Amino acid sequence: MTAPSDVSVGYIGLGNMGAPMAERLLEWPGGLTVLDTRPEAVEPFTAAGAAAAANAAELAAGCDVISVTVLDDAQVRDVVTGPGGLLTTARPGTVIAVHSTISDATAVDLAAVCAERGVDLVDAPVSGGAAGARKGTLAVMVGADEAAFAKVREPFTTWAGLVIHAGPVGSGTRMKLARNLLHFISFNAAAEAQRLAEAAGLDITALGKVVRHTDAITGGAGAIMLRDTTAALAPDDPWFPILAHARSLGEKDLTLALELGDRLGVELPLGTQALADLGTGLGVGPGELAQQYSMKENA
């Protein structure tokens, strides 16, 4: 069996994310081959010692693990199964890792097509943005069977600070979508908080500094994502007093914020929803303040 460090790696797509990820593979012992439609993107890699392929088929013919970072589902399908695509030359045992955020259904469908050729396609979307890619600290969520995951884990550690085996093919994408659901809902919540602060005559750039500073200390929303289930907690569960305390603090502060919004004439729909749902979401049920606010609103 080929040692993980001896596998040859290919990288397709040298954009804002792909280039810094591939750059960290330049010293990979098994060698690196790159492909991009733009010669100017490829040139720094060949100057640093990487090989360049003219097309996906040429790259696949000489690589054991192939990373793909392109725009969307259509481009992924074209790279993998299109004319001159990876499957035209990929050898059995090759692993194709898709880092693009695509539909989980696309990942499962392409994996089935690849399996007919003895090739493993895994979905391995990343989180951490361009800054994380430049620092080599990305999180990568891999949907793969155990054997395929074992092949990609070591190459991925060159550019990722966290490599998670999310489950079978499709699981990496589903985890990324759940993560991004939180991300973009939090953007909406940030906008709501800014509206409240602005109406109160505050400097919202200063508020942003406070949020970034304290989230770096507390971990933000991820700080409560420690349980292995979302089921309701029994009162004797060790987590119950911890999360009940979080609920009490949250309901108090949400109530005060909503009262401020009422006085200033600022609608806070996310805040209202959060007060109603916080205790249930934490698994401890609504607290007294949430129940009182609900009765007041329904009166």
Rounded to whole angstroms, the Cα distance separating 134 from 206 reads: 28
48: domain CATH number is 3.40.50.720
Q: What is the pLDDT of residue 1?
A: 46
Give how far Cα 125 sits from Cα of 141, 159, 175, 200, 256, Å: 6, 13, 9, 40, 39
Q: Are residues 34 and 151 in the same domain?
A: yes
Give residue 129's domain range.
4-175
What span, in angstroms and rounded, lies between the C-alpha atoms of 299 and 292? 10
Position 289 in a domain: yes
Please check whether residues 233 and 169 belong to one and the same domain.
no
The answer to whether position 199 is within a domain reads no
In a domain, 50, yes or no: yes
Q: Does 115 share its domain with 262?
A: no
What pLDDT does residue 73 have? 96
Encode pLDDT of 143-166 as tens digits: 999 999 999 999 999 999 999 999
Residue 204 falls inside a structural domain: no
CATH at 266 = 1.10.1040.10
Domain C-terminal end among 115, 148, 175: 175
pLDDT at residue 266, rounded to an integer:
98
The DSSP string of 112-163 is HHHHTTT-EEEE--EESHHHHHHHT-EEEEEE--HHHHHHHHHHHTTTEEEE
In a domain, 211, yes or no: no
Q: What is the pLDDT of residues 204-237, one digit of tens each?
A: 999 999 999 999 999 999 999 999 999 999 999 9
At residue 2, the pLDDT reads 56
Task: Verify that 171 and 231 share a domain, yes or no.
Answer: no
Mapped onto helix, strand or coil, the DSSP state of residue 295 is helix
Q: Are residues 167 and 233 in the same domain?
A: no
pTM: 0.91
Q: Per-residue pLDDT for the chain (299 aa), expressed as one digit of tens each? A: 455 678 999 999 999 999 999 999 999 999 999 999 999 999 999 999 999 999 999 999 999 999 999 999 999 999 999 999 999 999 999 999 999 999 999 999 999 999 999 999 999 999 999 999 999 999 999 999 999 999 999 999 999 999 999 999 999 999 999 999 999 999 999 999 999 999 999 999 999 999 999 999 999 999 999 999 999 999 999 999 999 999 999 999 999 999 999 999 999 999 999 999 999 999 999 999 988 888 887 76
Residue 92, pLDDT score: 97
> Which element (helix H / strand E) includes 182?
helix 171-199
234 and 171 inside one domain: no
How many domains are there within the chain?
2
**Among 175, 195, 217, where does a domain finish?**
175
pLDDT of res. 5: 72
**Which helix (DSSP H) or strand (DSSP E) does residue 32 occupy?**
strand 32-35
* Residue 198 in domain: no
- What angle is formed at CA 163 by the lines to CA 154 and CA 94, rounded to 5 degrees? 50
In the prediction, which pLDDT does 183 show? 95
Which helix (DSSP H) or strand (DSSP E) does residue 298 occupy? Answer: helix 288-298
Based on the fold, state whether residues 34 and 133 are members of the same structural domain.
yes
Both 230 and 171 in a single domain?
no
Enumerate the active-site residues. 176
